[in-house]
Structure 1
Amino acid sequence: MIQKKEINFQGIKHRFQVKKPWDDVIIFVLNVLIAIPLFIILHQNLINPNWFLNIDRVIIFIVMIVLIQLVLRLLRTIIILCIFIYVLVLIYGSTIGNYGFNNVFEDYNSMMYTMSDNPYPQDIIIAKLLPFPNKSKIVNAIEYQNPKIRNFALMATNKHFKGLKGYSDYRTIIQCFAVFKEINSRWNYVSDPKARDYIASASESLLYLSGDCDDHSILMAASIKSIGGTPRLIHTTGHIYPEILIGTATDLEQVNFLIKNILFPKESTDQKLHYHVDERGQIWLNLDYTAKYPGGPFMSEEILGALTLD
């Protein structure tokens, strides 16, 4: 009886065993496939010490590869079964769960793109912000409930990036980027009357898509807020520009990938994202009228005040 069971075990072992050198090839491929999602989880949850060239992440990835390789070599006699289980888990994640083949591909691309092309952070560390100039006039001019502003924003979302699928968690941000594209591609800079600071309402600037930096900021903020985005205005020496709330560092990785690969690939080629990190660790992306893509270079960085439109 014992001998029969041993024979059956040897038969099963022989059935699932892969001959050399294909077992080494399969082990290596399976190692990489397993390491990618595990590394993504670690990368997103571990504190980033900001080492030079992300050496800490490189070390983590190498250690993971070595450990997984050792485990897979111990299981090499049933390597086909391991592959079957791995594929089965991803199929389950793709159909019923929340993490499948497409998520592995998207997260890996996003993570690698961010690590290879680090966004350029501009941290806001200000002890005392000065009073925002013309604050009450600007707040009143941001007519985000005006039907004309809302309809303009809806037009932009139907004109740009409408068919993009697979990024439902970032739908609002993508639609706000559509508004950015529509405004910045058509904006005509016109100065205020001489020796007078003229504050135009959002609906007024919408008529000809023209005005100075504060007019642009007001229209951008109103349009973004009208479709659910969170904008704010930054006041510098002689300049005002809008920003949009992105969220966490993980959100920035996804947004960075979207901008550089899908939404604004030509405009952002070989460029970096420019953003601010507020006192709560939230990330705000630059939307200045001089920017060709969300997160374009700052026109002015000496911050004197910020006006957030919650």
Structure 2
Amino acid sequence: MKKPNIKLLRTLNKFSLPKPWDTIIIFLLTVLILIPVFIIMHQNLIDPEWPLHLDRILLFLVITLIVTYCLHYIKRFLFFAIVLYLLVLLFGTLFTGYGFKSVFEDYRSMIYAMSDNPNPQDIIVSKLLPFPNKSKILKAIEFDNPQVRNFAVGATSKHFRNIKGYREYRQIIQCFAIFKEIQSKWNYVNDPKNREYIATASESLQHFSGDCDDHSILMAASIRAIGGTPRLIHTKEHMYPEMLIGTKADLENVIYLIKEVLFVQESKGRTIHYHIDERGKIWLNLDYTAKYPGGPFMSEEILGELTLN
């Protein structure tokens, strides 16, 4: 029978943590390891939409038990586990852009979004009616018009210019600046009697006035002018714009931005509203009736959508 390596055992014992520090370190390491593992699994697993996020709570508990058991099993190597964990996060901070700060911000956004209970309307069905006045509306969305481009760029310089720490969401923040500028100025004016009047984006810039069609056109053109992806939603008696946010993980970070950084007072105590398309992509409501991105829908049946790629 092979005898254990006495020198190795002595070396390991030197690095072993005394009680009760071993228990404290195991607890801290469990929390630190749990955060990135849970974030990755939470963002990539299909959400069955159980009530009160019970599926995510169960996932959290299972990961906690597994990590705690593994750390107890390798108790003698805790010192090396700590060093390895710190080196991995340090490498991420220096070379990949995902390190200490990113783990903290992702976990905070995820928990915030889960507690906020976002409220999507029904998923848009694939068979939609023809979009009314489609050719006229597309022509009116003058995203390459210099006036529209200058307005959009000016709005990004006026609002949220000094927001730091959210580089990957810079374009979304700039689109929110456009929303804020238009929303603060928009004056609802009806079309001429018995006539559907469609104003171009540059025309609406003169007085920031018009009906829901005109507002949607101006919003879509301005967002498209700085590289965003807008679309228009048509209901029986209404039209409103939406913008592409991305995935569920992106939504969690955007909710935090809206409610804790950009539109704190406007969105206080309120729910974020969005649509999920057939590809699982998330679109945020930017209706003129909303005081913040993701404001309430007018709860009408969706009849058509027009996306500007």
TM-score by length of 1: 0.93
Aligned to 2:274: 275
Distance 1:198 1:3 in 2: 91
Following superposition, the deviation at residue 185 of structure 1 comes to 1.6
**Per-residue deviation at 1:127?**
5.7
| Structure 2 match to 1:96 | 95
State how far apart, in whole Å, the 2-side matches of 1:212 and 1:298 are.
16
2:224 corresponds to which residue? 225
| 1:211 corresponds to 2:210 | yes
Identity of aligned residues (%): 62
| 2:253 matches 1:254 | yes
> SS state of the match for residue 270, structure 2?
coil
Q: Could you say what secondary structure the match of 1:123 adopts?
A: coil
Amino acid paired to 2:289: T
Greater mean deviation of Cα atoms: 159-168 or 68-77: 159-168
Distance (whole Å) between structure 1 residues aligned to residue 86 and residue 159 of structure 2: 36
**1:180 aligns to what?**
179
What's the CA shift string for 1:290-309, capped at 9, x where partnerless? 11111110124211211112
Q: Distance in 2 between matches of 1:33 and 1:125?
A: 39
Shift in Å, 1:78: 3.2
Task: Give the alignment of 1:13-24 within 5 angstroms.
Answer: 13-24=12-23
Instruction: Return structure 1 stretches of 4+ with deviation > 4 angstroms.
Output: 2-5
1:213, 1:239 within 8 Å by CA — same for their partners in 2?
A: yes
Q: What is aligned with 1:159?
A: 158
Q: Tell me which residue corresponds to 2:116.
A: 117
> Conserved in 2, the CA contact under 8 Å of 1:273 and 1:295?
yes
Q: Kindly report which structure 2 residues correspond to 1:1-310, keeping only aligned pairs within 5 A, or say none.
A: 6=6, 8-126=7-125, 128-310=127-309
The residue identity in structure 2 corresponding to 1:39 is: F
Would you say the 8 A contact 1:123–1:278 is kept in 2?
Answer: no
Q: Which moved more, 1:292-301 or 1:73-82?
A: 73-82
Deviation at 1:14, TM superposition (A): 3.4
Task: Output the CA distance in 1 between the equivalents of 2:5 and 2:65.
Answer: 34
Q: Aligned partner of 1:256: which letter? A: I
One-letter amino acid matched to 2:114:
M
- Counterpart of 1:217, as a letter, is S
Amino acid at match of 1:97: T
- 2:125–2:278 CA contact under 8 A, matched in 1: no
- Asked if 1 retains the 8 angstrom alpha-carbon contact of 2:246 and 2:283, the reply is yes
Counterparts of 2:272 and 2:231, CA distance in 1: 17
CA–CA distance in structure 2, aligned partners of residues 232 and 284 of structure 1: 9
Q: TM-score, normalised by structure 2?
A: 0.93
**Separation in 2 of the partners of 1:95 and 1:126?**
44
> Which runs of 5 or more structure 1 residues have no equivalent in the other structure?
none
Deviates more, 1:153-162 or 1:220-229: 153-162
Shift of 1:138: 1.5
Following the alignment from structure 1 to structure 2, what is the Cα–Cα distance between the partners of residues 37 and 126?
A: 35
Equivalents in 1 of 2:80, 2:129: separation in Å? Answer: 65
Gap runs ≥5 in structure 2: none
Give the partner amino acid of 2:57: V
Conservation of the 8 A alpha-carbon contact between 1:236 and 1:305: yes
1:304 alignment partner, SS class: strand
Query: Do the aligned partners of 1:236 and 1:300 also contact (CA within 8 Å) in 2?
Result: no
CA positional deviation for 1:20: 1.8
Q: Which amino acid aligns with 1:251?
A: D
